[in-house]
Homo-oligomer: A and B are copies of this chain.
Amino acid sequence: MRVVALAGGIGGAKLAHGLALAAVTASPPHELTVVVNTADDLELHGLHVSPDLDTVMYTLAGVADRERGWGLAQETWQASEMLAAYGAETWFRLGDRDLATHLVRSERLGRGERLTVVTAALASALGVGTRLLPMSDQPVRTKVGTDAGWFDFQEWFVRRGQRDEVRELRIEGLADARPTPEVLAAVRSADAIVLAPSNPFLSIGPILGLPGMADAVREAGAPVVAVSPIVGGTALKGPADRMLRSLGGEASAAGIARHYAQRHPGILDGLVIDDADAAQASDIEALGLRLLVTGTVMRDDADRERLARETLEFAVGLRPR
């Protein structure tokens, strides 16, 4: 079975890891492709940093720091301290080991290689068996509109600690960017498409917003299911709950269902929600969505793999190819 997951940062990385674990134990093994958001990318100290790609890559490689939630395990911060001594901005902290990733990526991009090719080389060097694809090779950058003005996404997210209510989002470059041929080919041949429990505005939104991408997903003929990033009214990680409220929605599993129904009509066949949100089942089914109610909080690898397996079984049961 060919599985395609669309993912952002931490929640996406966890489910991608679960799908990778489920893929290798399936018989025959699934072919897993993870398409990752790049709208959170940024330039720092002249380097190209891809936070979501790195979070997914490090997680799949088993070298992510599990407590911090981002970056590499056994990380040190010597370069960052020295950058501070030079008066350079260090609000986006780059670990010493992590720097190597950005150096290799930036040098190869500077030589004209595509982010897709560079990402594959980095992931392969770290022993990642899963196919990891940036959503696009062209620059796409999320801008956040608040009462304090417009900010680059990471500036709002990290530097300002998400303290400003988000009034508006602008995904710059989206109209001029395209999904890569690799992404389109993977989607078109997919047997199941999973939208990871990532932020629907910041992570899944930019991917589905790429010209031609939503149509490709709709026309793939594969079942498409999302895993809700909202459990019991709050986001397990990140600002999805606050953004659902401030951008005119509702921070709930049903709010996620409505978000996808309104912004990406006809994309979803089913939604995976947490046991804690079982009471919202009829609201969600009223939107024409099929439902899987299960434990969606991924505390350990076993949780990740179980949720991934259940999600795939649910998807295939909806609309077998």
Check A125/B79 contact, CB under 8 A, given A107-B45, A107-B46. no
Contact A82 B107 (CB under 8 A): no
- A76 an interface residue at 8 Å Cβ cutoff? yes
User: How many interface residues does chain A have, given as a range?
Assistant: 20 to 34
Q: Which residues of B contact A86 (CB under 8 A)?
A: 100-101, 104, 121-122, 125-126
The A interface is mostly helix, strand or loop, or mixed, namely: helix
**What is the bound-complex CA distance between A104 and B76, given in angstroms?**
19
A106 to B87, CA, bound (A): 15
Cα separation A45 to B106 with both chains bound (whole Å): 8
Q: Which of B45, B83, B96 contacts A79 (CB 8 A)?
A: B96
**Please, which residue of chain B has its CB at the minimum distance from the CB of A82?**
B100
Taking CB atoms, residues of chain B closer than 8 Å to A104 are 45, 83, 86, 88
Residues of B contacting A97 in the complex (Cβ-Cβ under 8 angstroms):
78-79, 81-82
Is A276 in the interface zone, CB < 8 Å from B? Answer: no
**Interface residue? A103 (CB, 8 A):** yes
Rounded to whole Å, the gap between the CB of A75 and the closest CB of chain B is 8
Measured CB to CB, the closest approach of chain B to A61, in angstroms, equals 10
B107:A79 contact, CB within 8 angstroms: no
Q: 1/0 contact trace for A151-183 toward B, CB 8 Å?
A: 000000000000000000000000000000000
A320–B174 Cα distance when bound, in Å, is 70
Q: Could you tell me if B79 and A99 are in contact, using CB atoms closer than 8 angstroms?
A: yes
Copies assembled: 2
Q: Kindly state whether residue A110 has any CB partner on chain B within 8 Å.
A: yes
**Chain B residue nearest to A76 in the complex (CB):** B78
Q: Please give the distance in Å from A100's CB to the nearest CB on chain B.
A: 3
Q: Name the CB-closest residue of B to A111.
A: B46
- A60 smallest CB distance to B (angstroms): 15
A interface residues (Cβ-Cβ under 8 A, vs B) = 45-47, 72, 75-76, 78-83, 85-88, 95-101, 103-104, 106-107, 110, 121-122, 125-126
* Known interface pairs A82-B99, A87-B125; 17 further A-B residue pairs with C-beta atoms within 8 A, sorted by A's residue number: A45-B107, A46-B46, A46-B103, A46-B106, A46-B107, A78-B95, A79-B97, A79-B99, A79-B103, A82-B96, A82-B101, A83-B103, A83-B104, A86-B104, A86-B121, A96-B96, A99-B99
- Which 9 A-B pairs rank lowest in CB-CB distance, beginning with the nearest? A82-B100, A46-B107, A78-B96, A96-B96, A45-B103, A82-B97, A83-B100, A79-B99, A86-B125
